[in-house]
Structure 1
Amino acid sequence: MNTQEVADKLVQLCREGKHAEAIDELYADNVVSKEPKGSPMELTEGKEAVKNKTLHWEQSVAEIHSASTSDPLVADNHFSIVMDIDATYKEHGRMPMSEICVYEVKDGKIVADEFFYRMG
């Protein structure tokens, strides 16, 4: 798959709430995932670790009130999307969040992702 195809498939799976499936299908085994500096999961390396981070996040959610994923913006081997979510978390209560997600694709797989959002 080229970058546009990977981006379109990721957006489709995210819109369907299939985040773990997206990792299984689209991520490289040696993927590197970055969250904002100071966050608990600032750097996660490897497909299984990234999948576990995603499953941990899903388990922390009590209720999702709304969620959206933008169409991708593609440039060569990178793409970005905007994800908005309004969720109630088991430990933190209700928190709306908007983030920019940037992905790097190599040989048809996501090899890196980085998430930009306001902390606290």
Structure 2
Amino acid sequence: MSNLAKAKELYDMMAQGKMMDAFEKHYHQDCKIIEATGEVRQGKDAQRKALEDWQNNFVKEMHDGGVDAITADEQQNITMVESWTDLTNQQGERLKMAEVAVQKWQDGQIIQERFYYNS
């Protein structure tokens, strides 16, 4: 399966509400996550905790989401995804969040992911 196909599968799983299943399947044990804020998380356990905290402490309700653009450089093992999420946070504010993720793949999983968004 190409990296592009794996990235599409990842986002399809998230759209079906299977964010943690998608994470477990597609992220490498030694992944490095770099937020637009400069925060860096090293390892799958650290990223898992961050995702769980985001779901449990930030998100009150998910309304919709999608992918606007997705592409890959298969020779460099890189995918790039422009996506958005429509949600209500714990304070009751409805937000439409947009980001670009640049993902580097190794052994069929994401080894590094860097996010670009307005923080």
Could you tell me the TM-score, scaled by structure 1's length? 0.86
Gaps of 5+ in 2: none
Paired positions, count: 116
Q: CA–CA distance in 1 between the matches of 2:10 and 2:69?
A: 10
Q: CA–CA distance in 2 between the matches of 1:70 and 1:116?
A: 15
The amino acid across from 1:25 in the alignment is: K
Q: 1:92–1:31: structure 2 CA closer, same or farther, 3 Å change rule?
A: farther
> Which of 65, 68, 91 pairs up with 1:67?
65
Percent of aligned positions with the same letter in both sequences? 25
Aligned residue number for residue 49 of structure 1: 46
The amino acid across from 1:44 in the alignment is: R
Please list the CA deviations of residues 79-100 of structure 1 after superposition, one character each: whole Å capped at 9, or x if unmatched: 0112211211114722221111
Task: Determine if the alignment matches structure 1 residue 8 to structure 2 residue 37.
Answer: no
Aligned residue number for residue 99 of structure 1: 99
* 8 Å CA contact retained: 2:69, 2:83: no
Partner SS for 2:4:
helix
The amino acid across from 2:93 in the alignment is: G
Q: CA–CA distance in 1 between the matches of 2:23 and 2:13?
A: 10
Partner SS for 2:82:
strand
Gaps of 5+ in 1: none
Q: CA shift at 1:48, angstroms?
A: 1.4
Q: CA–CA distance in 2 between the matches of 1:61 and 1:47?
A: 21
Q: CA–CA distance in 2 between the matches of 1:18 and 1:67?
A: 13
Could you tell me the TM-score, scaled by structure 2's length? 0.86
